[in-house]
Amino acid sequence: MNERIDRISGRAYQYVCEVLGSEFQGSKSGGMMKRLEQTFAAKFGVQYAISFINGTATLHAALAAAGVGPGDEVIVPPLTMASTAFAVLHAGAVPVFADIDPEMWTLSPESVTERLTERTKAIIPVAIYGLSPDMDPIMDLAAERNLFVLEDDAQCFLGTYKGRLVGTLGHAASFSFQSSKHMTSGEGGMVITNDPALANRTRRFGSLGYAAVGAGEGKISKADIQDPGYARHVEVGWNYRMPELCAAVALEQTERLEELVFWRQRQAGLYREALSGCDWLIPQKVPAGYGHTYWTFVVKLNRDDITWHDFRRKFLEFGGEPFYGAWRLNHLEPAFRGRKFAAYQKQDYEPGLCPVAETIQPRLIQFTTNAYDLAVMEAQAEALAKTVRHFR
């Protein structure tokens, strides 16, 4: 019998049915959002977890809660999903791109230092592909300059950095539950923090500025809103709340998170075995003391006589599933390239801005790790091994 697991277990269906059975009457829905937030906070050992409709809203809300706005700059990496930089723009600030580490492909602390200005208000280090950046120097820099650090951990659940859980290293952390992530509810996200004031502001920003919501409370009571004299909105906020149906699925996923992460790591291990003896497909460097969770298993194609497309064609021919290239670097996307988002913006979004990232990005191959079926995983690893042998 083949070894496999279900991506979504029967418990999720049970939780969803509880919500549907309530006919969306809040008092009968089982309080899925609250249960999810409490479970997620306990999983990461933090005081506050605040749910959102997606992992871009999380970033926007946390930045706004930290006071990031017009006139500010936020340092971000160019090698990641553009949502990170978009959230900075949503907050009214300007993204400043710093380069990446040449072996880890995460935000380079040295480049961050070089990109600091008097307008820098925050840094968003991204745990790219499931690997934490080198956070200690980033946090030291933030302490010296009084900067807000928001971890973007959309691709990293239960990763570790020098014995600490990724997500507990900065002032707050953002997670995404989009369909490709380690855990999913189709769409959704979470902000975690140990700062009660930040948690309160984050909640209110994502909940229409309601007076009665806060760090540990995501809903207003009927007793309050039925009063005609009740002042509901104490500040301007967005409607970024997670639906109860999504919360029901995310709760089941949070309860099984270790299992879901383990299967990604297991598939990455098979890919590593398939690369035995190959010195021209270079995996992402994982320093001692780091725990990688492999949202995807990524290698750099380090040969000039083989193109990315050549390798992909042969991998598919040997039975491999289609893999992705890395995102076009943010500053070279049409939405950014050549643009000025504020009169004070000094950085030009043009080629040459992040030379390390610009050299590496075209060579990256992102193998999927979401099979959850040992036979499929072994077949993908064998396709990789055959492709390597073909090009030797």
Q: Tell me the per-residue pLDDT of 165-194, one tens digit each, with 9 for 90 and over.
A: 999 999 999 999 999 999 999 999 999 999
Residues 231 and 311 in one domain: no
- When divided into structural domains, the chain yields a total of 2
Which spans in 66-212 are helix H? 83-90, 109-115, 135-145, 196-205
Residue 4 in domain: no
Residues 120 and 242 in one domain: yes
Q: Of 224, 256, 288, at which residue does a domain stop?
A: 256
* Mean pLDDT (whole number) for 135-144: 98
* pLDDT (tens digit per residue) in 86-134: 999 999 999 999 999 999 999 999 999 999 999 999 999 999 999 999 9
Crossing angle (nearest 10°) for helices 257-274 and 244-255 = 60
> What is the CB neighbour count within 10 angstroms for residue 116?
17
Q: Of 225, 256, 287, at which residue does a domain stop?
A: 256
Give the DSSP letter of residue 227. Answer: S
Closest CA to 295 of 131, 173, 80, 166: 131
* pLDDT (tens digit per residue) in 149-172: 999 999 999 999 999 999 999 999
Task: Say if residue 26's pLDDT is above 70.
Answer: no
Query: What CATH number corresponds to the domain at position 61?
Result: 3.40.640.10
Do residues 257 and 157 lie in contact, with contact meaning Cβ atoms separated by under 8 Å? yes
pLDDT tier at 215, thresholds 50, 70, 90: confident
Q: Of 256, 283, 317, at which residue does a domain stop?
A: 256
Question: What was the pLDDT predicted at 175?
Answer: 98
Closest CA to 350 of 366, 372, 369, 330: 330
Across-strand partners of 164?
Answer: 161
Question: What was the pLDDT predicted at 29?
Answer: 62
Q: How far is CA 51 from the centre of its chain?
A: 14
Residues 73 and 173 in one domain: yes
Across-strand partners of 150?
Answer: 172
Query: What CATH number corresponds to the domain at position 292?
Result: 3.90.1150.10
Q: What is the rounded distance in angstroms from the CA atom of residue 43 to the CA atom of residue 66? A: 24
* Range of the structural domain that residue 342 is part of: 258-391
